[in-house]
Amino acid sequence: MHVVLPDGKQLDLPDRATGADVAAAIGPGLARAALGLRVDGRLSDLLTEVPAGATVQILTGRDSADVIELQRHTLAHVLAQAVREHLEAEGHAPTSVRLGIGPVIEHGFYYDFDLPRSLTPDDLEAIEERMRAIVAADLPLERTVVERDAALARYRALEDPYKVELIEDLPEDVPITFYRQGGETGFSDLCRGPHVPRTGALPTHFKLTSLAGAYWRGDERRPMLQRVYGVAFADAAALEKHLWQLEEAKKRDHRKLGAELDIFTLDDDIGPGLPLWLPRGTIIVEELERLAHEVESAAGYQHVRSPHLSKEQLFIKSGHLPYYEESMFPAMVIDDQKYFVKPMNCPFHHKIYAARPRSYRDLPLRLAEYGTCYRYEDHGALMGLMRVRSMQMNDAHIYCTEAQFEAEFMGVIELYLHYFDLFAIDSYVMRLSKHAASGLGKKYVDEPELWIRTEAMVRSALERGGINFVEAEDEAAFYGPKIDVQITSAIGREFTLATNQVDFSQPGRFDLTYVDEDGQRKTPLCLHRAPLSTHERMVGFLIEHYAGDFPLWLAPEQVRVVPIADRHLPYATEVAERLTRDGLRAEVDGGNDRMNAKVRSAELKKVPYIVIVGDTEADAGTVSFRSRKEPQRNGVPLAAFSDHLARHARERAGQVEGLT
RNA sequence: GCCAAUGUAGCUCAGUGGUAGAGCAGCCGAUUCGUAAUCGGCAGGUCGUCAGUUCGAAUCUGACCAUUGGCUCCA
């Protein structure tokens, strides 16, 4: 047989040659340096046979981006070996350490175990030490293909249900391979590879980072395994950089900044996931509301209000009961009637639609409300402002005809893009979430042909609008497909921010109709949309996005006026009054600290402008300022300064043009 | 909800069986100062909660609550 090298040359080899044979045939130096290979572009390893005629590229330490994948994968096996040795050394039977899966992930790897006891953080240190010993021992890896029955028999003998299940689920035509490190008596694991050829080829720049529970195969009805996470990098600098980035991310964490900047707080007496907005946080929320109100009014929305409670009947009609009941706070009984706190605003808006007969002339009807909803989220899922139980939706429902659908849908997408531009959000993924036929009647309303039709409508609207998106199976809303915008927060967690959902179900359930031009009663479509997500999540995201350094228009306190001595207090007050009159949020620091201390405390609160006034300024009617937004200036006339700030705040400017 | 870790003053943290500590923040006083911490004093805690062990518990044990990291779920 022969293979093709990257330069196009053909290399003759005996049949069943492995990657290592290819490297050896090219030269002894390369054979020593080789760590893996790409076969027809796909990552493979030296232990695997190369198919005849394939294009083969040998990877060495220089191809670190590829090799690190192999190394992380092998490190997962080294981790498993170390965990087994660690527990065996304590006297546990080797078979009591059962292995789940151990894949490569971003920055590293993990391995899931079913163990005779819980691991502790101290164990991680000991396990890491054993891993380093395994790396230092430079154990050779071997790959063997095993008959399905032999593989099953092996794991049945070990009473390992996990590997048996994995093998049983492998398609018949896939060869079952094992990787073994350390020879006959070494550590062996079911694995499709690829791996580095020996543990000595692993970087020592790895670290076990955390310990977590994880359901077997991600299914909450199945056993919970213990997962050990690790990170690994090709060199020390990359590991250091990664750890440093984690530290930096922690500084942006909205929970930390939210407390430091007096934005929100959580109180045990109130309850988990029920945040309190402090005055400074309330300013931010109200600025968002003002923004949304302006943008929506210009886009033809009307604003409505609805109560927080309703009789169960409403949610039976909407279809939320019973399928959504476990996410709702339990009912309260009043006058022998069950009432629920609302988890969504939509049923109320449907009732507003139904409050009078509607004509096609009323459509599209766009009803907006920033109503607070309550959802009984799993305790373990709560997280700062990002995942809460009381949330103010940036909500609206658009009722329209099928003919109007595309324009309305794109109008909402344009709202997103407008907001993303305003907030300089440039890294996000738009996702079209679709139904799965298997969920019809359970997770999704049982209207197969409507699902297919609306999904096609959404897809064509997006394509015609030139919007990039990915499609996600089995992630739709109960009542229709949706477009979500996924963002990654500063601390590396993914969240859904904006959402835009098509609803072909609820209008019918509520008997919503309009009289069309032809005099016929017809059922409108409904769009549920929340381009600013919930105000809780949006503020949480913005805190991290700006690292607490808000643009002027969002900053809770825009100007801090610092008098140099007490005698400058009257002028400082005059400055603040002028700024306030121009619509700015300004405070005077009249305390008895030294000026330096006052500047420091204003900086710690990340106040965008600190105005310093002393004799010079008071005499001339000017201000001197230092700013987080533009270079420091002295002796600026008060009126010019106030106009400058007021203009930027009014325009919701992201960047400030320096005052000239 | 599940697995694990953590919980001491508003914040950051010390205190491993013998009467609760520090710095910062707060309050009071002195200082009146030119772009990131002036000095002194005062006050502040049922050590997450409830039980248990003990002559004695912040410290040991248990249950519960909350937070954090994950899993599941989601705006």
Residue A514 CA from chain centroid, whole number: 40
Residues of A (592-611) placing their beta carbon closer than 7 angstroms to any atom of strand B are 592-597, 599-600, 603-604, 610
Instruction: Give the sheet arrangement for strand A176-181, strand by strand.
Output: A141-146, A176-181, A187-190
Return the CATH number of the domain spanning residue range A2-60: 3.10.20.30
| Assigned token pair, A7 | 């330069």
| Assigned token pair, A51 | 């198919």
| Assigned token pair, A390 | 């009381």
What kind of architecture, by CATH, is found in domain A66-245? 2-Layer Sandwich (3.30)
Per-residue model confidence as pLDDT tens digits over A405-433? 989 999 999 998 999 999 998 888 899 99
Per-residue model confidence as pLDDT tens digits over A481-527? 999 999 887 777 788 999 999 998 899 999 999 999 999 999 999 99
Report the DSSP beta bridge partners of residue A500: A483, A529
- Confirm whether any atom of chain B, the nucleic acid strand, is less than 7 Å from CB of A491: yes
Q: Is A560 in a helix, a strand, or coil?
A: strand
Confidence of residue A253 (pLDDT cuts 50, 70, 90): very high
Residues 6+ apart with CB under 8 A from A255: A384, A385
Complex confidence, ipTM: 0.94
Confidence of residue A324 (pLDDT cuts 50, 70, 90): confident
Query: Mean pLDDT throughout A220-248?
Result: 91
| Assigned token pair, A530 | 């929340």
Query: Mean pLDDT throughout A146-168?
Result: 91
**Which protein residue's Cα is closest to nucleotide B32 at C1'?**
A565
- The C1' atom of B2 and the CA atom of A214 lie apart, in whole Å, by 8
- The C1' atom of B24 and the CA atom of A548 lie apart, in whole Å, by 21
Choice among A217-226, A361-370, A510-519 with the minimum mean pLDDT = A217-226
Bases along strand B below 7 A from a protein CB: 1-5, 11-12, 25-27, 29-38, 48, 65-75
| Assigned token pair, A403 | 């003919």
Spell out the SS3 assignment of A182-241.
CCCCCEEEECCCCCCCEHHHCCCCEEEEEEEEEEHHHCCCCCEEEEEEEEECCCHHHHHH
- Confirm whether any atom of chain B, the nucleic acid strand, is less than 7 Å from CB of A211: yes
CA distances from A504 to A171, A460, A525 (A): 39, 17, 6
- The C1' atom of B51 and the CA atom of A156 lie apart, in whole Å, by 46
Per-residue model confidence as pLDDT tens digits over A45-98? 999 999 988 999 999 888 888 999 999 999 999 999 999 999 999 888 888 899
Q: Where in chain A is the domain with CATH 3.30.930.10?
A: 264-546
Decide: A59 and A36 in contact? Cβ < 8 Å. Answer: yes
| Assigned token pair, A362 | 């009323």
Confidence of residue A447 (pLDDT cuts 50, 70, 90): confident
Per-residue model confidence as pLDDT tens digits over A264-300? 999 888 999 999 999 999 999 999 999 999 999 999 9
Nucleotide nearest to A528 (CA to C1'): B75
- Phi and psi at A43, nearest 5°, equal -70, 130
**Which protein residue's Cα is closest to nucleotide B48 at C1'?**
A268
- The C1' atom of B37 and the CA atom of A595 lie apart, in whole Å, by 10
Query: Mean pLDDT throughout A115-140?
Result: 91
Nucleotide nearest to A534 (CA to C1'): B75
Q: What percent of chain A stands above pLDDT 70?
A: 100
- Confirm whether any atom of chain B, the nucleic acid strand, is less than 7 Å from CB of A220: yes
Q: Where in chain A is the domain with CATH 3.30.980.10?
A: 66-245
- Confirm whether any atom of chain B, the nucleic acid strand, is less than 7 Å from CB of A615: yes
DSSP state of A91: T
- The C1' atom of B68 and the CA atom of A563 lie apart, in whole Å, by 42
Per-residue model confidence as pLDDT tens digits over A135-149? 999 999 999 999 999
| Assigned token pair, A192 | 């499709």
Q: Where in chain A is the domain with CATH 3.40.50.800?
A: 559-650
Over 90: is that where the pLDDT of A632 sits? yes
Q: Where in chain A is the domain with CATH 3.10.20.30?
A: 2-60
Residues of A (456-485) placing their beta carbon closer than 7 angstroms to any atom of strand B are 475, 477, 484
- Confirm whether any atom of chain B, the nucleic acid strand, is less than 7 Å from CB of A379: yes
Over 80: is that where the pLDDT of A617 sits? yes
What's the alpha-carbon Rg for chain A, to the nearest Å? Answer: 31
| Assigned token pair, A72 | 């992380």
- What letter represents residue A216's amino acid? W
Query: Mean pLDDT throughout A378-390?
Result: 93
Fold of domain A264-546? BirA Bifunctional Protein; domain 2 (3.30.930)
Return the CATH number of the domain spanning residue range A559-650: 3.40.50.800
Nearest to A301 by CA among A392, A365, A353, A360: A365
**Which protein residue's Cα is closest to nucleotide B29 at C1'?**
A592
